Structure 1
Amino acid sequence: MREPGRNPTIRDVARVAGVSVATASRALGNYGRVSDETRARVQAATEEIGYRPNSVARSMITRRTNTIGVVCADISSPFFAGVVRGVTDEAKKAGFDILLVNTDEDVATEREAIALLMDKRVDGMVVSAADVCEVAHLATAQERGTPVVLIDRISSMLSADVVTVDDVRATELAVSHLLELGHRRIGILAELRIEREADWQTLLGPGLDRDRGELNASAARLLGYLRAHRAAGVPVDPTLVCRTGTYEVDGAVECARQLLSRSDRPSALVTIDNVMTVGGFRAVRELDLDLPGDLSFVGFDNLDWTTLVRPALTLVEQPVHEIGARAAQRLLERIAGDDQEPRRILLPTSFLVRGSTAPAAPAAP
């Protein structure tokens, strides 16, 4: 038994198990020769006295901390919460713990978070980059031997594995659905918080062929909206692109309210993430618009509430848990020594047609 007020040590384990300190260390560290009977005795002793190995000391021997850093853009978002759950579930299977930090989509905060995780000597990091064009700090982490796997965002400026969905194609299919229903005035609610992406019209014309890795998720989904119009031969009305500038529900409500209060309001509205979907739907309710009679509505992310409202919302569904799980699997492979070329893993989305979309009303004569 251990003395009251004192944490048990490896010497206590060895004494209770009736072995030397060196043997107890080998048994707990899974190195060297130790019989199964001795290993079981040492394990029983650790449980009897409540001994917990010193992770710092162990890491000095193994050069591993068995921890993964997760840099999350917004943990309050159901999307990122689901992704983190996927990472955690896979990491736990492999005996790894998670250190989670939140950046609020701020690059400066992200740099501090990466520095913190490096100080904690995590074995690798799963990161949702705040800006795909400002990733020098992630490259530095890689150069120092810490593998990085990106989620949700692709960066052409970082040679790293990435697990996400094809944002461009997902939104292109959603908008094509509305165009096939006869809608010609389709609004889109997008945050476009990065200032250089505020001038989104640079995506028109030759910009429609921009590489996905140069764009943040919101701009990539707007690109899909523009490509769908081009494929259908329908001109884009720039006034129907509603930029919130912030990743907040209140900003999305205000932006959608202005768009839908117009005398020439769009006949359909598309949102590009779960925050924009909540804001857009709230504006629809405030203005007492009927779905799909007054407006067809297509959301993004299959959250529980989208099937509880009437009508249930047509939307794009992402494989949220799988994104996190696949990212963790890839990172664990890197930690184990995989040095193959970085992989871009694009998981399929689903388009769920429900009651919030309908054919466009005939044009007035």
Structure 2
Amino acid sequence: MDPTPPRNNAVTVADVARMAGVSKATAARVLGGYGTVSDRVREAVTLAARNLNYRPNELARSMTTGRSGTIGVVVGDIENPFFSLAVRGITDIARQAGFTVILTNSGENTETEKAAIRALLAKRVDGLIVSPAMESDVDHLEEAIRSGCPMVLLDRGSRTLGVDTVVADDGHAAEDITRRLIAGGHRRIAYLTACDTPDHRFRLPSDISTGSVRRRIEGFLRACHEAGLSGMEDWVRLGALTPAETQRIVTAMLTDKHAPTAIIASDSVIGLDVFKICRDRGIDIPRDLSLVSFHDADWTSVTTPPVTVVRQPVYQLGEKAAKLLVERLNGNGGPASRVVLKTELVERASVADIPAEQMSEARQEKV
């Protein structure tokens, strides 16, 4: 056995085999975790690899074993606390199962998402967890599935992809909070989202390509129609993509003759922007405006007042998506499942009822 380590930092299987006094094929079996060898040989190879500071060539290993030990994850916005927490759930389960996560950000752009999927497939990931930017443009996801790569959809489903899907009960959550606002006398209720259309106007839920947001808007409109409120489609405001756009939209609403008495923010990033705009303009929450946000982000409980939220099981969404993918990778060949996790309305101090003397006036405007 030659104990002299190679001078080249790129230690190879052949180097490990030479130090361990075994054949290259035997060393490869030990280092790759496949085949059968004696305990004595395994210990010799493992010790040699440790002494040489051997690092496996993952691409070579994947070509030998058919596994890279990696899971690719594509989300819409890694700066959004929602996705950050969901990815934490994914990585915790993946690590327990022996997988490493490669995270990519689509920026809610389909072309960027397509490039990310191509790059992850080129890296031979064992499976994919994707939060699609658009439900109406999933050809690249279909292609990935046809290539044999298992896939799970996170937070956003698809009507055409027959894969495991994990979503929150967004529609009923939006119904519940809208009913709560209506019961408190609110009639001018705005729903604000980053989703957009070419002319920046909402007409039908089918205009919204992001499934989770579409379900929330559908729930919002169902509760409004159930209460006999007409024309509430006009209160769905689109395009809050950046703080500047959110400020423009919210300022226009708040300075209008018929300003909203309540705003439902479709995510916590928009909710925080609305809160800051109100603070800067001297608008008192909840006396002048009630505010509700989807996602129980950390900031929502420490503001004055603390903000009423729809608490989504975000960590559990990621956790469940990863569990379903690991099950597929371990041989589960059953039919695709759709898992819907419950949400919770957390009432704090950012919602107030409309005073009785204003309630009848507001009702007349919308009934």
What TM-score, normalized to structure 1? 0.91
Q: Which amino acid aligns with 1:242?
A: R
Decide whether the 8 Å contact of 2:286 with 2:352 is kept in 1. yes
Decide whether the 8 Å contact of 1:247 with 1:275 is kept in 2. no
**What root-mean-square deviation, in Å, do the aligned CA atoms of Structure 1 and Structure 2 show?**
2.2
Q: Report the counterpart of residue 227 of structure 1 in structure 2.
A: 222
Consecutive unaligned residues of structure 1, counting only runs of 5 or more, are: none
Q: 1:171 aligns with which of 169, 174, 178?
A: 174
Hey, what's the Cα distance between the residues in 2 that align with 1:298 and 1:117? 37
Hey, what's the Cα distance between the residues in 2 that align with 1:18 and 1:303? 57
Q: Report the counterpart of residue 249 of structure 1 in structure 2.
A: 243
Alignment partner of 1:267 is 2:261: yes
Once the two structures are superposed, the pairs formed by residues 43-192 of structure 1 within 5 Å of their partners are: 43-192=46-195
Deviation sequence 1:24-47 (CA, Å, 0-9, x none): 222222222223343233222211
Hey, what's the Cα distance between the residues in 1 that align with 2:131 and 2:210? 13
Decide whether the 8 Å contact of 1:67 with 1:98 is kept in 2. yes
Once the two structures are superposed, the pairs formed by residues 209-224 of structure 1 within 5 Å of their partners are: 216-224=211-219
Give the secondary-structure state (helix, strand or coil) at the position aligned to 2:357. Answer: coil
Hey, what's the Cα distance between the residues in 2 that align with 1:83 and 1:254? 30
Hey, what's the Cα distance between the residues in 1 that align with 2:197 and 2:107? 13
Decide whether the 8 Å contact of 2:240 with 2:270 is kept in 1. no
Deviation at 1:222, TM superposition (A): 1.4
Decide whether the 8 Å contact of 2:133 with 2:210 is kept in 1. no
Hey, what's the Cα distance between the residues in 2 that align with 1:348 and 1:9? 50
Hey, what's the Cα distance between the residues in 2 that align with 1:327 and 1:114? 17
Hey, what's the Cα distance between the residues in 2 that align with 1:30 and 1:21? 14
Deviation at 1:180, TM superposition (A): 2.0
Decide whether the 8 Å contact of 2:74 with 2:129 is kept in 1. yes
Decide whether the 8 Å contact of 2:192 with 2:240 is kept in 1. no
Deviation at 1:238, TM superposition (A): 4.3
Q: Report the counterpart of residue 324 of structure 2 in structure 1.
A: 330
Hey, what's the Cα distance between the residues in 1 that align with 2:350 and 2:309? 9
Hey, what's the Cα distance between the residues in 2 that align with 1:246 and 1:186? 16
Q: 1:300 aligns with which of 294, 298, 316?
A: 294
Give the secondary-structure state (helix, strand or coil) at the position aligned to 1:201. Answer: coil
- The verdict on how the C-alpha distance between 1:192 and 1:10 changes in structure 2, with shifts beyond 3 A counting, is closer
Q: Report the counterpart of residue 201 of structure 1 in structure 2.
A: 203
Hey, what's the Cα distance between the residues in 2 that align with 1:95 and 1:158? 27
Decide whether the 8 Å contact of 1:162 with 1:345 is kept in 2. yes
Hey, what's the Cα distance between the residues in 1 that align with 2:101 and 2:187? 47
Q: Report the counterpart of residue 258 of structure 1 in structure 2.
A: 252
- The verdict on how the C-alpha distance between 1:16 and 1:165 changes in structure 2, with shifts beyond 3 A counting, is same
Q: 1:355 aligns with which of 349, 352, 356?
A: 349
Decide whether the 8 Å contact of 1:14 with 1:24 is kept in 2. yes
- The verdict on how the C-alpha distance between 1:247 and 1:152 changes in structure 2, with shifts beyond 3 A counting, is farther
Q: How many residues align?
A: 356
Decide whether the 8 Å contact of 2:202 with 2:236 is kept in 1. no
Q: Which amino acid aligns with 2:202?
A: W
Decide whether the 8 Å contact of 2:292 with 2:309 is kept in 1. yes
Hey, what's the Cα distance between the residues in 1 that align with 2:25 and 2:330? 27
Give the secondary-structure state (helix, strand or coil) at the position aligned to 1:223. Answer: helix
Consecutive unaligned residues of structure 2, counting only runs of 5 or more, are: 362-367
Decide whether the 8 Å contact of 2:202 with 2:233 is kept in 1. no
Hey, what's the Cα distance between the residues in 1 that align with 2:352 and 2:74? 40
Q: Report the counterpart of residue 340 of structure 1 in structure 2.
A: 334
Hey, what's the Cα distance between the residues in 2 that align with 1:269 and 1:145? 44
